[in-house]
Structure 1
Amino acid sequence: ATQSFTVVIRKAENAGTVIDAVVTAGGDAVQLNGVYPFLSNGAAATEQARAAAVADAKARATSYAKLLGENLGRVLYLTEVSAPVYNRPITAMAKAESDTQIDLGEEEVTVTVTVRWALN
């Protein structure tokens, strides 16, 4: 008989300790199917990336408008592409005499906007 379960670890720095405890408790009967990071606050990260993308687009458009001797007008068109967040490869190092070290890497949230402004 087998039993599967998922463990959510809120602090990445505790991942190695938790894995060590599970393996110690279960011994050779334990099969670890993977360690997968996730963004616990992905919506906030996306909103932050969105705000930065719009601010950058507006700054660039303002610069072009000034070069043309014009003022930036109202927004005519806006579209957004949010890149999915892909898990980076996770590395784990373990020695019989030492604690397991887990490197979860970093996640990146990317938002790209295309904006068209009228010129005044």
Structure 2
Amino acid sequence: MIKMTHAVATAALLTMGMFGGTASADPAPRHGLRSGLAKVTLEDDRSRITVMGEGSQSAVPDVMRLNAGVEVRRATAGTAFADARAAAAKLTEALKTAGIQAKDLRTNELSLGPEYSTYPTVSGYRAAQGVEAVVRDITSADKVIDTVAGVGEEARLNGISFEVSDNRRLVRAARDAAFRDATARAAQYARLSGRRLGPVLTVAEEDASPPPIRFAGAALADKASISPGQQSISVHVRVVYELL
């Protein structure tokens, strides 16, 4: 499996199954970094080594997702809903005018409910409608956000996120790096144990949880207030080699 992260590090533990002992191979992981494993076992006069490799590639995100919407409070439910729908239509048209294509606009909230002064006394009604806009030209991010704010007092900005639209090239490169890392680890342990590295027996990508994207930076900071930072893609691979 693949995880999204901005830090790449792996520690290792060498378990010598043939001797029934355990030895520390790399320094203990620091700053909460993920540790890997290296294990040597002997079965029926055949030795094998299992190692974890990790590889990472980074890129500047080229897509921004903007969550926005409208919210109104009125004395009656019908008026609140109608006014929210009208404000949402105004917001949608404004986003289209700002360069967002209709296929990149998606309604993600539609709500209507009472508000209470003291329960169960209803003081009014709240209606809201939300929209997710995919901004494919990040250089226009500030313009799009200003467009939302310009819709009026009903407008709401609920957050943004960034992503790489096509990360397949990054994933392939990260896999290459992870496999090279696994091979280097295995070769080192084979040498330390006085053996030679044999053929690959199994390969498996490991499951990992995606941490948040890192927003560091300066890609647009000198021109605008919105910066996509950098997104890293990491791959962990577990490889089993025969030892000769």
TM-score by length of 2: 0.39
Tell me the equivalent position of 1:57.
182
- Aligned-pair identity in percent equals 34
For structure 2, the residue ranges without an aligned partner over 5 or more in a row are 1-83, 89-129, 217-222
Q: 2:167 maps to which residue?
A: 42
Structure richer in strand, relative to its length:
2
Q: Distance in 2 between matches of 1:48 and 1:82?
A: 18
- Tell me the matched-pair count: 112
Q: Which amino acid aligns with 1:65?
A: A
Which sits farther off after the overlay, 48-57 or 72-81?
Answer: 72-81
Instruction: Say what the alpha-carbon RMSD is for the aligned residues.
Output: 2.7
Unaligned runs of 5+ in 1: 92-98
Match of 2:144 in 1: 18
Closer, same or farther in 2 for the Cα pair 1:11/1:81, shift >3 Å?
farther
C-alpha separation in 2, matches of 1:114 and 1:64: 15
| CA offset digits 1:58-85 (Å, max 9, x no partner) | 1222233334443321112222125344
1:114 correspondence with 2:114: no
Residue in structure 2 matched with residue 32 of structure 1 by the alignment? 157
Where does residue 197 of structure 2 map in the other structure? Answer: 72
1:19 CA displacement: 0.8
Q: Tell whether the 8 Å contact from 2:204 to 2:237 is kept in structure 1 after alignment.
A: yes
Q: Which amino acid aligns with 2:239?
A: V
- Structure 1 residues 78, 89: CA separation in 2 closer, same or farther (over 3 Å shift)? closer
Asked if the contact 2:203/2:239 (under 8 Å) is kept, the reply is yes
Runs of 4+ in 1 over 4 A off after TM superposition: none
Q: Which amino acid aligns with 1:101?
A: S
Change (3 A) 1:106 1:83: farther
Q: For 1:21, what is the secondary structure of its paired residue?
A: helix
Aligned to 2:225: 101
Q: Which residue of 1 aligns with 2:26?
A: none
Q: Larger Rg: 1 or 2? A: 2
Distance in 2, Cα, partners of 1:82 & 1:106: 22
SS in 2 for 1:116: strand
Structure-2 separation of matches of 1:64 and 1:34 = 48
In 1: Cα distance, 2:173 partner to 2:208 partner: 14
SS in 2 for 1:27: coil
Query: Cα gap change, 1:90/1:21 in structure 2, threshold over 3 Å: closer, same or farther?
Result: farther
Give, in angstroms, the shift of residue 100 of structure 1. Answer: 6.2
Structure-2 separation of matches of 1:79 and 1:87? 24
